[in-house]
Amino acid sequence: MKAYKLEVRITILLTVLFLLAGNVALIFSIFPVEGYLFGFPIMYIVPILSGWFGIFILTIVASRLGNRIDEEIERENNYQKTLGKERNSEEGA
């Protein structure tokens, strides 16, 4: 049951992080910045790069965390099945 709770928490956290990474441009439009980075205005290049690479990195993190949580859920399910089989064999004997 702990793995399911962890999965819900991670899902909510990653959803918030995805929304923030995808909407960095809105934050930059609220607080305009002067200057240049790689020859482009910071106000334009930083939201583009953080959006692209931020979403890319978050996707990798989400997939790895999801795989680990799925393995933990599988272990918990197998453990519950073995407990159920042991109880059934004890009751039948």
Q: Which of 2-6, 13-17, 69-73 has the lowest mean pLDDT?
A: 2-6
pLDDT in tens, 80-90: 888 877 777 76
22 by Cβ neighbours in 10 Å (0-12 / 13-18 / 19+) ranks as: middle
Sign of CA dihedral 9, 13, 16, 19: negative
Total residues found in the chain within this entry:
93
Q: Which residue has the tokens 């990653």?
A: 14
Output the pTM of the full model: 0.73
pLDDT, tens digit (0-9, with 9 covering 90-100), for 18-77: 998 888 878 777 887 888 988 988 888 888 888 889 899 999 999 999 999 999 999 988
Rounding to the nearest 10 degrees, give the CA dihedral for residues 43, 48, 49, 51: 120
Which pLDDT value is given to residue 92?
61
DSSP 37: E
